[in-house]
């Protein structure tokens, strides 16, 4: 569906947008705690910028959906007949105490339900996994002193923020060895949360087992699929030609071994997971490369206001009705303005997964349809970024800004090469 958006001489950013069909999230949750000229700035005032940001980031709701929402509240029609059947009790102001009558009452707003805390202080941050997971460490790095809320699935972390159970979510999107976490890219499009920051966490894997277990006793190794992929070659060098099974998360693998007293299985997880679940470290630093880093994104219900006083990154997703032929034109919009791209990822378009080449729908050749995720180094407060997206909009049928947020510029040290990576504790 294509929806016309208001235009303004100060805001030529987007003239229309097309939003793919959203998928209703599962309620189950498991939570333990035109012109290539950039001479003039677009959106020169704060109000212009906020309007532009709202157009790019907010959910476009069809008129039919709006009508249906307005027509009923909690299952009751707004009609007078239905309203009279609710048997409402009239409010008598005289029944209040004198001191209460003098106070002016105001309706509750959504902010009254969950006031925004200071950065990191008492912030409820959802992550996927159990205590000891790398996602928990990333949440602590992103928001020090936060209250970390473990979730059993990635989508539950999204729902925790949407349902005001958590204030933020910290989820992995890519790893320097294992690549992208495709599930979270799909969930970013399905849900309406905004990326408000990123954090890069060095990952130091250990091989864990119950105390007293030797490598000769091992018949399998379990971990998250990313953990297995990041240690594949090292496991082979260690002589562990055993079955490798994927589980939901690294710390969950350690918890499973400890809870079930499994003595023929080892887990790939962090040293903290070994401490929490009483396991022994058989091998330390078993990742295939010392420079093993996972990038996490921080998600919130509302976007942040981009700035230009520090490096920013912006994430977008777009698609086109005629396939990938416009990809070069989209990339040229950034190249023309010297905007560096740090990431480009393609994912199947679940709404239109296959397109027939023949317009009469009788051809046999077919094209796969894709959504494209792009990260670029620029703030949406910059005119060049706004103008680039204005040009991208000309070539695409769907465009959405997932977030414009500060880049993680903190320094990190890779895991030092160690003989323990190739030596087992016997």
Return the active site residues: 294, 296
Q: What are the structure tokens assigned to 76, written together?
A: 């009751």
98 HSE (CA, 13 A, CB side): 0
Neighbours of 358 (CB within 10 A): 10
Give the C-alpha separation, 388 to 360, whole Å.
35
Q: What are the structure tokens assigned to 386, written together?
A: 């706004």
Give the C-alpha separation, 378 to 406, whole Å.
10
Give the C-alpha separation, 141 to 124, whole Å.
14
What one-character DSSP code corresponds to residue 347? E
Give the C-alpha separation, 234 to 289, whole Å.
9
Helices 182-190 and 154-162: crossing angle in degrees, nearest 10, is 30
Give the C-alpha separation, 425 to 285, whole Å.
13
Give the C-alpha separation, 143 to 38, whole Å.
37
CB contact at 8 A, 347 and 182: yes
């Amino acid at each position: 569906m294509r929806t016309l958006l208001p235009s303004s001489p100060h805001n030529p950013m987007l003239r229309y947008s097309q939003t793919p069909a959203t998928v209703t999230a599962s309620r189950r949750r498991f939570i333990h705690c035109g012109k290539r000229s950039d001479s003039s700035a677009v959106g020169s005032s704060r109000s212009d910028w906020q309007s532009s940001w709202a157009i790019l980031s907010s959910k476009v709701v069809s008129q039919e959906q709006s009508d249906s929402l307005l027509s009923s509240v909690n299952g009751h029609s707004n009609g007078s007949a239905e309203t009279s059947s609710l048997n409402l009790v009239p409010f008598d102001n005289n029944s209040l105490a004198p001191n209460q009558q003098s106070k002016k009452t105001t309706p509750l707003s959504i902010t009254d339900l969950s006031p925004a805390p200071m950065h990191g202080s008492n912030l409820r941050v959802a992550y996927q996994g159990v205590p000891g997971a790398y996602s928990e460490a990333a949440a602590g790095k992103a928001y020090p002193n936060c209250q970390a809320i473990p979730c059993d699935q990635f989508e539950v972390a999204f729902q925790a923020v949407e349902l005001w159970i958590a204030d933020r979510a910290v989820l992995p999107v890519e790893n320097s060895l294992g690549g992208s976490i495709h599930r979270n890219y799909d969930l970013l499009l399905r849900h309406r949360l905004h990326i408000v920051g990123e954090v890069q966490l060095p990952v130091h894997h250990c091989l864990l087992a119950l105390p007293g277990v030797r490598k000769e006793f091992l018949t399998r190794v379990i971990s998250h699929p990313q953990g297995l992929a990041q240690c594949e070659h090292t496991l082979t060098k260690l002589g562990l030609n055993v079955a490798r099974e994927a589980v939901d998360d690294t710390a969950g693998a350690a918890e499973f071994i400890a809870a079930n007293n499994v003595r023929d299985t080892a887990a790939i997880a962090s040293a903290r997971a070994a401490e929490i679940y009483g396991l022994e470290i058989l091998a330390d630093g078993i990742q295939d490369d010392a420079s093993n880093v996972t990038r996490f994104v921080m998600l919130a219900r509302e976007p942040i206001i981009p700035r230009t006083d520090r490096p920013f990154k912006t994430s977008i997703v777009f698609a086109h009705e005629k396939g990938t032929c416009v990809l070069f034109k989209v990339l040229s919009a950034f190249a023309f303005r010297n905007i560096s791209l740090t990431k480009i990822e393609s994912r199947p378009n679940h709404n239109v997964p296959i397109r027939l080449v023949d317009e009469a729908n009788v051809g046999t050749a077919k094209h796969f349809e894709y959504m494209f995720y792009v990260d670029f180094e620029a703030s949406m407060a910059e005119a060049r970024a706004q103008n680039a997206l204005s040009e991208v909009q000309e070539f695409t049928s769907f465009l959405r800004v997932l977030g414009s947020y500060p880049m993680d510029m903190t320094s990190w040290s890779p895991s030092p090469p160690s003989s323990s990576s190739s030596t087992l504790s016997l």
